[in-house]
Amino acid sequence: MSDIQLASSRRGTGPPLVVIRQLDRQGWAPVIELLIREREVVAVDLPGFGDSPQLPGGTVPTVQALATEVATWFSAVGLPRPPVVGNSLGGAVALELARTGVVGSAVALSPIGLWTGPEAAYALGSLRIARTMAESLGHRTARVTGSPLGRTLTFWQLVAAPRRMTPEAADVALRDLARAPGFKATRRAARTYRLTGFTPSVPVTVAWGTRDLLTPRHQAHRAARLLPGARHVRLPGCGHSPMSDDPGRIADLLLSAGTD
């Protein structure tokens, strides 16, 4: 058990809902603005992302290790079995938390781990290229994110309509990608992660965008086979990070997904 302090924030009133974030902090922002009308939203950055430190030296940041760290954090901040939601890596962490029963419910948006070896190599290789570009830009990220074309070339694999992203949100997202200290080690660990089937003891929802170009929607069919007891939702017109494409739809989904 580690004693690192994960970075988190709380907003709103009502029953708590934990949002698990990594490289998608800007994508979650408009959804959180809608959720805080009815929930206390507790947003936490996974180890090595956002403002959270990496796992202690020598600890490989596997999906299971990240889930264990988040579960430990629940106890530290007084959140017994909260409902959770995550996207991509965060979605896989949410499912692993549901597997162990330490959460009250879980929503996974386009979770990783439903891929084959070549599909994992494609997705993670695509993110590695984006990371290299972000690092090479340094403080000049606005030169790319300031134009619709630049946003499209940068975020096409994550967002269905990157042109509609604001330059400010796109710039912060690109900077977060460049500075995440846990990116390389987590990407390496994720290559071998495969979700294995389980029968959820809590409500579980898996949702997939129809325009997901990073983890294509045929992977949702594998999720349905592995998790027959879960609720499976199609998100028309949304990409890999559906929060950016349709904040209202995602907020409604979360409020109807057993999060009371």
pLDDT digits (tens, 9 = 90+) for 194-207: 999 999 999 999 99
Task: Please tell me the predicted confidence (pLDDT) of residue 260.
Answer: 43
Q: What is the pLDDT of residues 162-183, one digit of tens each?
A: 988 999 999 999 999 999 999 9
Contacts of 123 (CB under 8 A, 6+ apart): 112, 115, 214, 215
Residues 17 and 61 in one domain: yes
Residues 100 and 162 in one domain: no
Residues 73 and 44 in one domain: yes
Domain span at 132: 119-179
pTM of the complete model: 0.95
| Residue 60 falls inside a structural domain | yes
> Among 146, 179, 212, which residue terminates a domain?
179
Residues 111 and 124 in one domain: no
| Residue 175 falls inside a structural domain | yes
Residues 56 and 110 in one domain: yes
Task: Please tell me the predicted confidence (pLDDT) of residue 259.
Answer: 46
Q: What is the pLDDT of residues 83-98, one digit of tens each?
A: 999 999 999 999 999 9
Q: Are 172 and 152 in contact (CB under 8 A)?
A: no
Three-class SS of the chain: CCCCCCCEEEECCCCEEEEEECCCHHHHHHHHHHHCCCCEEEEEECCCCCCCCCCCCCCCCCHHHHHHHHHHHHHHHCCCCCEEEEECHHHHHHHHHHHHCCCCEEEEECCCCCCCHHHHHHHHHHHHHHHHHHHHHHHHCHHHHCCHHHHHHHHCCCCCCHHHCCHHHHHHHHHHHHHCCCHHHHHHHHCCCCCCCCCCCCCEEEEEECCCCCCCCHHHHHHHHHCCCCEEEEECCCCCCHHHHCHHHHHHHHHCCCCC
- Can you give the CATH number for the domain in which 22 is found? 3.40.50.1820
Q: Assess whether pLDDT exceeds 60 at residue 9.
A: yes
Task: Please tell me the predicted confidence (pLDDT) of residue 215.
Answer: 97
> Among 179, 210, 230, which residue terminates a domain?
179
Residues 94 and 148 in one domain: no
Give residue for tokens 């977060």: 176
Residues 161 and 80 in one domain: no
Mean pLDDT of the 30-43 span: 96
Residues 206 and 93 in one domain: yes
Mean pLDDT of the 37-61 span: 95
d(CA 63, CA 89): 8
Residues 202 and 217 in one domain: yes
d(CA 65, CA 214): 23
β partners of residue 105: 83
Mean pLDDT of the 122-135 span: 94
Residues 142 and 243 in one domain: no
* The pair of three-digit structure tokens given for residue 17, joined into one six-digit string: 């809902």
Task: Please provide the average confidence, as pLDDT, over all residues in the chain.
Answer: 94
| Residue 138 falls inside a structural domain | yes
| Residue 95 falls inside a structural domain | yes
Question: Number of folded domains in the chain?
Answer: 2
| Residue 228 falls inside a structural domain | yes
Residues 43 and 85 in one domain: yes
* pLDDT-based confidence at residue 29 (cuts at 50, 70, 90): very high
Task: Please tell me the predicted confidence (pLDDT) of residue 3.
Answer: 65
Amino acid letter, 120 = A
Task: Please tell me the predicted confidence (pLDDT) of residue 257.
Answer: 84
| Residue 260 falls inside a structural domain | no
Mean pLDDT of the 116-144 span: 93
| Residue 3 falls inside a structural domain | no
Residues 107 and 124 in one domain: no
| Residue 136 falls inside a structural domain | yes
Range in 55-59, 121-125, 128-132, 212-216 with the lowest mean pLDDT? 55-59
Mean pLDDT of the 244-255 span: 96
Task: Please tell me the predicted confidence (pLDDT) of residue 258.
Answer: 62
